[in-house]
Amino acid sequence: MNAPVKIPVGSAPLEREEILLAVENVSLSFGGVKAIQDVSFDVRKGEIRAIIGPNGAGKTSMLNCINGFYHPQQGRITFKGRTRPRMRPHEAASQGVARTFQNVALFKGMSTLDNIMVGRTLKMKEPFFWQLWRHGPAMREEIRHRAVVEDIIDFLQIQHIRRTPVGKLPYGLQKRVELARALAMEPDLLLLDEPMAGMNLEEKEDMCRFILDVNNQFGTTIALIEHDMGVVMDLSDRVVVLEYGRKIADGTPAEVKADSRVIDAYLGVAH
Amino acid sequence: MLYREAGQYKTSYAADMAIFPLRQDRIGLAAILAIAFVAIPMTGNQFFLSSVMIPFLVFSLAAVGLNILTGYTGLLSLGTGAFMGVGAYACYKLATAFPDVNILVWILCSGFFAAAIGVIFGLPSLRIKGFYLAVATLAAQFFLQWSFVRIPWLYNYNASGAIEVPTRTLFGLPLTGATASPETRYFALLVIVVALTWIASNLVHGRVGRMWMAVRDMDIAAELMGIRLLHTKLLAFAVSSFFCGVAGACMMFLWYGGGEANDLFNINLSFNILFMVIIGGLGSLIGSFMGAAFISILPTALKFGLPAIGIPIAGATAEHVNLLLVGGLIIFFLIVEPHGLARLWQILKQKLRVWPFPY
Amino acid sequence: MSDVSLKSELAAFRMTPGLWTIAGVAGFALLLVIGSLTGAIGKDTFAYRVFIDPFAQMVEMPDLFAQTLWEGLVGGVLYALIALGFVLIFKASGVFNFAQGIMVVFAALTLVGAYEKLGTIGIRGEAAAFIALGVALAVMLALAYAVERVVLRPLVNQPDIILFMATFGLTYLLIGLGEAIFGGNPKVMIADQLYLPRGAIDLNILGGRVTIQKLDIAAAVIASAMIAILALFFQYTRIGRALRAVADSHKAALSVGISLNQIWIIVWFAAGVVELVTGIMWGARSDVSFGLQTIALKALPVLILGGFTSIPGAIVGGLIIGVGEKIGEFYWGPLVGGAIESWLAYIIALIFLLFRPQGLFGDKIIERI
């Protein structure tokens, strides 16, 4: 595969040792179904961390736990040094966790611009009273944030679909708008759930480039789930492998690739 | 030719974010306002004002309110009539308790009471969705309707069990009560409706409106973007009920003038307003007006229009034909354009922009 | 480390909202009992009249209680029948059919109207009644066909609310049509001609007399039979299997060659039959008028309780609402001025929903993204 070249990250090595997110002994079950069992890993500041594994391994459930959508029965999740036992999703968002979704979860009735502007909601502070008039402080704030959003639109090259209702966009562009919406939140941790699923090669390359650019230019820490092994090996600094809700490997792409349990999980155990 | 944006450049984000970015739209709006404020009162007779325009404006206001809740936030409500009733009764209590304060102040204040009641009945919306929520709002409808009849304090223990609207003046002219002229009532109502519609438009085009629509389109994603669902939904309930409450107060004080009030705010009113919103277009303010015009003027038009073009129908038959036609038209419109009159209007504008070319 | 484990132990014994409610209600009841026994709550206090007196009445006059309970049960069965019609249609076509109530009225009116027409051409008595029954069934079939053709087919794949609104249009159409054809006056249901029993049985039990209308017994029996037949039909026939498939997924059902249109007609017709039976029963208890359509609104809280897609839910929900509102009206209604039947059912359903949003028989909703 014609994978993009990994650009060396400019940030200082010391800073990269800092742990942004720590997942410790997390277990999650729905009734009798154990989605995640005793999984621990961490995400360091500034890195691209991949979570891989076969279908049903609990990858998406893991992301859901991280941003507070599911509450694990056991274990704890520490983000920026703070542990919250039962965090609501909007609390996660206000702490700086943004994400995209496996099945595109855009606001279908709204334009691309409005979708991305929703990502700015947390940054907009003008109270309800000013919103009533749409002049004065509320309008000035709106314009300020519009400028930020336009920068993101430029960055992801989606100027031409600014006014289009997102429901009418092709799938690849929808994924890109979703990334734009997440970026608008200026997150510290960006969770990407299969950002390249269902894309053709060209779109995948674009998306890889955007992910690397986000990581490089904004220094955003990224945790991503992806099935395309080529992409994962090229993009990520470290990889964690899940199978049937358990962690079976954790390390650099090269280490993981060589791990016999990972090979068994993906290729089946030789008998 | 007439409707084209060529040559209108936007040089700032403010210009780009204007509600009517096209000059032609702004001219159109000005023309409509001129007609409403000048032409109609000058040319319309009393019947036209009091039986067509005043009901239309009251329903428009209520439809705008419901559209905020159902069209923008995606919460189906069947309790609109009751929330309007809260406004009417609150206004009555306030106006009789403090007769010296201008009635317009009380009409607007009554909206806050409706908003408070709306928030209480909106609380379940965090846990229940869709049709389940619709049925929950029916609880509000029936409970409040019962309260209007069974709590005599609300109608000041009148023997008739109904509101008796007192006469109040504005600039020396009687505005409410039996002696108020349709022109005065029409003007007051028009000012209220225009002002509140402007506020609604400001809200839905800003941060608040985006939050509502985000909750409507994908509530889970909205929550993960940091939007608090309960706050947002309750805000929608409050604003929507405020509009409905003011509409209810206007309905009682500027349209009916009391009398047969105690069964006015029933479930049929709720349904009628829901029709207006859906026929007009969910999530469109201009659609609310179109829907209100359609549903509120149609019965009057049929009643007086059919005999005028030579189809004689008696009173009872007229009612039946009316029901048949309204029912049929609702189904017809839903099939032709499920997104309502507002969408038809948009398509028309799009066609006009590129006319005479198809694309 | 022990501190941490203690904390997690405590976290495991977290009080859920449900437990809090049960604890709260139990504590409150205990307080009341103690209060009334020790005389702290006097006989003329509000608390006594609300929380103690009704229960005291139930115990002191069990015959009245039994009478209320029975009336509630019969009402509940009829609510359950209407709810059943809703559930059938909602399951198969995803339509929240608001026209249910007017269809009940329309079916009953057709029956009575056809009987009257037959009377004018000289056919009377039981024969005419059963011919009229046939006519009413045919009309309901035609209605099902027309609805499928005119409403459902053009609106397939539209959002639920649009279909919901379309059934509103249908309601207006049917009211207009019904009034134009049959007139707006209430009519008497031809109960005798359909061999429905009349009169009452007086039971001397519980130290008093409980009156049971024979018609109510018949209603309960017929409704139960109807529900059983429908359940068997949908469980064991080919069409029933197809219906369940459609209920699960329209697309999947289409892909294995099930005709949606055919299923819709069948389901709407089945609902029409249920409506006709409901109309006969309800009409025989009062009379046949357009006011009856409001009973359909009463079926909505039943649906909430039972869940929109559960037939057992409709039955159990109907009984709970029927009994709950009769007892509430009888024992608590006078305290607040009466006529609380109009909203009590909704409040019961609403409070219930807050604790169990998926309804009585729904599965726990696991949200996915």
Task: Report pLDDT digits (tens) over A175-209.
Answer: 999 999 999 999 999 999 999 888 889 999 999 99
Paired sense of beta strands A97-99 and A189-193, if any: parallel
User: Could you tell me the residue range of the domain that residue A13 belongs to?
Assistant: 1-96+187-271
Dist CA C52 CA C58 (whole Å) = 10
Q: What percent of chain C has pLDDT over 90?
A: 2
Residue B190 is predicted with a pLDDT of 95
Q: Are residues A139 and A176 in the same domain?
A: yes
Residue C39 belongs to some domain of the structure: no
Dist CA A74 CA A202 (whole Å) = 42
Q: Are residues A80 and A199 in the same domain?
A: yes
- Distance from the C8 Cα atom to the nearest Cα atom in chain A, whole angstroms: 8
Residue C310 belongs to some domain of the structure: no
Return the structure tokens found at C368.
């996915």
> Are the Cβ atoms of B14 and A181 closer than 8 angstroms?
no
A139 within 8 A of A197, measured Cβ to Cβ: no
Average pLDDT across chain A, whole number: 87
Dist CA B150 CA C336 (whole Å) = 8
Tokens 């609106």, residue located: C155
Positive/negative CA dihedral, A60, A65, A71, A73: positive
- Distance from the A119 Cα atom to the nearest Cα atom in chain B, whole angstroms: 6
Q: Are residues A212 and A122 in the same domain?
A: no
Residue C13 is predicted with a pLDDT of 53
Q: Which residues of A touch C367 (CB under 8 A)?
A: 69
Residue C12 belongs to some domain of the structure: no
Return the structure tokens found at A199.
């894309």
Q: Are residues A182 and A197 in the same domain?
A: no
Q: Are residues A236 and A269 in the same domain?
A: yes
- Whole-model pTM? 0.88
What is the number of alpha carbons within 13 Å of residue B161 lying toward its C-beta?
11
Tokens 């209100």, residue located: B292
Residue C95 is predicted with a pLDDT of 82
Angle at B85 between CA B81 and CA B87, to 5 degrees: 120
User: Could you tell me the residue range of the domain that residue C275 belongs to?
Assistant: 63-294
Return the structure tokens found at C301.
């809280």
Structural domains of chain C, count: 1
On the question of pLDDT at A4 being above 50, the answer is no
Could you tell me the CA-to-CA distances from A102 to A65, A165, A192, B186, B256 in Å, in that order? 15, 20, 8, 54, 55
Count other Cβ atoms within 10 Å, centred on residue C355. Answer: 11
On the question of pLDDT at C368 being above 70, the answer is no
Q: Look at residues A186, A213, A231 and tell me which one is the last residue of a structural domain.
A: A186
Q: What is the ipTM of this complex?
A: 0.89
Dist CA C107 CA C272 (whole Å) = 8
Dist CA C79 CA C194 (whole Å) = 22
Q: pLDDT tens digits, residue range B34-47? A: 998 888 888 878 88
Q: Are residues A20 and A81 in the same domain?
A: yes
Interface list for A 205-264 with B (CB within 8 A) = none
Q: What percent of chain C has pLDDT over 70?
A: 88
Angle at B336 between CA C259 and CA B310, to 5 degrees: 120
On the question of pLDDT at A129 being above 50, the answer is yes
Residue C18 belongs to some domain of the structure: no
- Distance from the C279 Cα atom to the nearest Cα atom in chain B, whole angstroms: 22
Size of interface B-C (CB pairs under 8 A): 130
Q: pLDDT tens digits, residue range C90-146? A: 877 778 888 888 888 889 889 888 888 888 887 777 788 888 889 999 999 999 999
Q: Are residues A91 and A1 in the same domain?
A: yes
Q: pLDDT tens digits, residue range B249-280? A: 999 888 887 666 567 888 889 988 998 898 89
Residue C2 is predicted with a pLDDT of 45
Question: Subunits with at least 3 CB pairs below 8 A relative to chain C?
Answer: A, B
Q: pLDDT tens digits, residue range C306-324? A: 877 777 888 888 888 888 8
Label each residue of chain C as H, E or C: CHHHHHHHHHHHCCCCHHHHHHHHHHHHHHHHHHHHHHCCCCCCCHHHHHHHHHHHHHHHCHHHHHHHHHHHHHHHHHHHHHHHHHHHHHHHHCCCCCCHHHHHHHHHHHHHHHHHHHHHCCCCHHHHHHHHHHHHHHHHHHHHHHHHHHHHCCCCCCCHHHHHHHHHHHHHHHHHHHHHHHCCCCECCCCCCCCCCCCEEEEEECCEEEEEEHHHHHHHHHHHHHHHHHHHHHHHCHHHHHHHHHHHCHHHHHHCCCCHHHHHHHHHHHHHHHHHHHHHHHHHHCCECHHHHHHHHHHHHHHHHHCCCCHHHHHHHHHHHHHHHHHHHHHHHHHHCCCCHHHHHHHHHHHHHHHCCCCCCCCCCCCCC
Nearest CA in chain C to B317: C180
Residue A10 is predicted with a pLDDT of 43
> Are the Cβ atoms of B226 and A121 closer than 8 angstroms?
yes
A contact test, residue of B201, B210, B224, B232 with most A CBs within 10 A: B224
CATH number at A180 reads: 3.40.50.300
Residue C46 belongs to some domain of the structure: no
Q: Are residues A169 and A200 in the same domain?
A: no
Name the pLDDT band for C237 (thresholds 50, 70, 90): confident
Segment holding B173, helix H or strand E: strand B173-176
Q: Look at residues A186, A209, A227 and tell me which one is the last residue of a structural domain.
A: A186
Return the structure tokens found at C361.
């028989």
Q: pLDDT higher for A33 or B116?
A: B116
* The residue type at B260: E
- Distance from the A152 Cα atom to the nearest Cα atom in chain B, whole angstroms: 15
B253 within 8 A of B105, measured Cβ to Cβ: no
Structural domains of chain A, count: 2
Q: Look at residues A125, A158, A186 and tell me which one is the last residue of a structural domain.
A: A186
Question: Subunits with at least 3 CB pairs below 8 A relative to chain B?
Answer: A, C
> Would you call B224 an interface residue with chain A, using a CB distance cutoff of 8 Å?
yes
Q: Which of A145, A148, A211, A216 is closest to A176 using CA atoms?
A: A211
Whether domain B47-354 has CATH 3.30.2010: the reply is: no
Q: Which residues of A touch B203 (CB under 8 A)?
A: 131-132
B183 within 8 A of B47, measured Cβ to Cβ: no
Q: Are residues A81 and A130 in the same domain?
A: no
Q: Which residues of C touch A103 (CB under 8 A)?
A: 369
Residue C12 is predicted with a pLDDT of 47
